[in-house]
Amino acid sequence: MTESNSPHPPNPEPLPAEDFDSGTDENHLTPETLAAQEYLTTIASLQSPQNRDALQQAHSQIKKYTISKFTVKPRALLFTLVAIAITFFGLVINNWLLGILGTVITLILSLTMLLPWWQYVLQKWFLSQDRTLFVAFVGLAVGIIGLLKFTGLGDRLQMWVKQIGWEASGTLAEWFGALGQISIAIVAVYVAWRQYVISKDLTIQQNLLTVQQNIITQQQTIDSYFQGVSDLVLDEEGLLEDWPQERAIAEGRTAAIFSSVDGSGKAKIIRFLSRSKLLTPLKRDRRLGRAILDGMGGYEEDRLEGLRVIDLGVMLAAADLSSNDLRWTDLSEANLVRANLSNCDLVKANLARTILYSANLGGADLNGTRFFYGSVATASPRSRNEPPNYETGEYTGAVVENADFSNVQRLPEITRHYCCTWGGEKTRATIPGGCEGIPNKLGR
CATH H superfamily, domain 43-61+206-428: E3 ubiquitin-protein ligase SopA (2.160.20.80)
Give the model confidence (pLDDT) of 240-299 as tens digits: 988 999 999 999 999 999 999 999 999 999 999 999 999 999 999 888 888 999 888 889
Burial class (CB within 10 angstroms; exposed 0-12, middle 13-18, buried 19+) of 363? middle
Q: Are 83 and 102 in contact, with CB atoms under 8 Å apart? A: yes
pLDDT at site 108: 86
pTM of the model: 0.61
pLDDT at site 23: 38
Residues of the chain with pLDDT under 70: 1-73, 164-173
Burial class (CB within 10 angstroms; exposed 0-12, middle 13-18, buried 19+) of 58? middle
Give the model confidence (pLDDT) of 398-437 as tens digits: 999 999 999 999 999 999 999 999 999 999 999 999 999 9
Q: Are 234 and 241 in contact, with CB atoms under 8 Å apart? A: yes
Burial class (CB within 10 angstroms; exposed 0-12, middle 13-18, buried 19+) of 321? buried
pLDDT at site 141: 84
Looking at the chain, the number of H-run helices and the number of E-run strands are 12, 0
| CB half-sphere exposure, 153, CA atoms < 13 A | 8
pLDDT at site 57: 54
Burial class (CB within 10 angstroms; exposed 0-12, middle 13-18, buried 19+) of 155? exposed
SS3 state of residue 330: strand
The DSSP secondary structure of 300-337, one letter per residue, reads -B-TTT-B-SS--TTTTTT-B-TT-B-TT-B-TT-B-T
Q: Alpha helix (H) ranges present in 259-394? A: 263-275
> What are 431's strand-pairing partners?
none
Reference 26, options 378, 433, 329; nearest CA is 329
Q: Are 381 and 393 in contact, with CB atoms under 8 Å apart? A: no
Q: Are 434 and 413 in contact, with CB atoms under 8 Å apart? A: no
Query: Phi then psi for 360, rounded to 5 degrees?
Result: -110, 110
pLDDT at site 155: 80
pLDDT at site 53: 57
Q: Are 400 and 379 in contact, with CB atoms under 8 Å apart? A: no
Distance CA 394, CA 375 (A): 9
pLDDT at site 251: 96
Distance CA 208, CA 217 (A): 14
pLDDT at site 81: 85
